[in-house]
Amino acid sequence: MVKCPRCGYENASSSVYCDNCAYLLSEKNSARVTKENKPGRWNVGIARKIVIVLGIIVIALLLFSFAFNNSQPSHNDTLNVIYDDGSHHQSSTYPFKAIVKGDGNWYAEMGNPDYLVSKSGSGSKSFSLDCAAWDDVEINAQKYSGEGELSIQLLRNGKVVAENSTTNGTDSVSIYFDS
């Protein structure tokens, strides 16, 4: 029980104001009432803490995203694609060479049967083939004009392993070499 200092009325110990004269019974209880029972007001300390925590989370996500994106290989690196412009062939790595000879214009497809490279030209031309020593090799050539001879040769390490030719019209010639 709390006694009112103004009128002497005995109030319950949980009373903030005197039940008889409405006198404020204690400053301590008054501070508790204003902080705890006022709806709609934010405590500035709690709001500041929430903003700081959210800011740290956003910064951490941005840093993680930056680190993750920069540590990933590019799209082309993950495809295992080999680009070849035909200028880096070495006889030890690519032992096969094709020679196409024609009196006129011709068209040829050559290389591994699963990956044929198309070439066209006239006269005599030599091509290094992108085939390993254990690969099967195929050469198909066709004349555009009806006159003259068309011949093809397959060389392995500088030695002729297969050849074929034709003199008929716009005929074609083929070689299939099974390693």
| Residue 21 dihedral angles phi and psi, to the nearest 5° | -120, 0
Residue pLDDT, tens place only, 80-117 = 555 555 554 444 467 899 999 988 888 899 998 888 89
Residue 164: which of 90, 95, 100 has the closest Cα?
100
Beta bridge partners of 125: 100
Q: So what's the pLDDT on residue 33? A: 45
Model-level pTM? 0.47
Residue pLDDT, tens place only, 11-29 = 888 888 888 888 888 765 4
| Residue 55 dihedral angles phi and psi, to the nearest 5° | -65, -40
Q: So what's the pLDDT on residue 82? A: 58
Query: Average of pLDDT values for 49-76?
Result: 87
Residues 6+ apart with CB under 8 A from 122: 102, 104, 105, 106
Cα dihedral sign, 44-45-46-48: positive
Q: What is the mean pLDDT of the chain?
A: 80
* pLDDT higher than 50, residue 31: no
| CB 13, CB 4: distance < 8 Å | no
- What letter represents residue 49's amino acid? K
Please tell me what DSSP assigns to residue 67: H
Beta bridge partners of 111: 116, 138
Rounded Cα gap, residues 163 and 176, in angstroms: 10
Q: So what's the pLDDT on residue 90? A: 47
Residue pLDDT, tens place only, 113-153 = 888 899 988 889 999 888 887 888 999 998 887 678 889 99
- What letter represents residue 55's amino acid? G
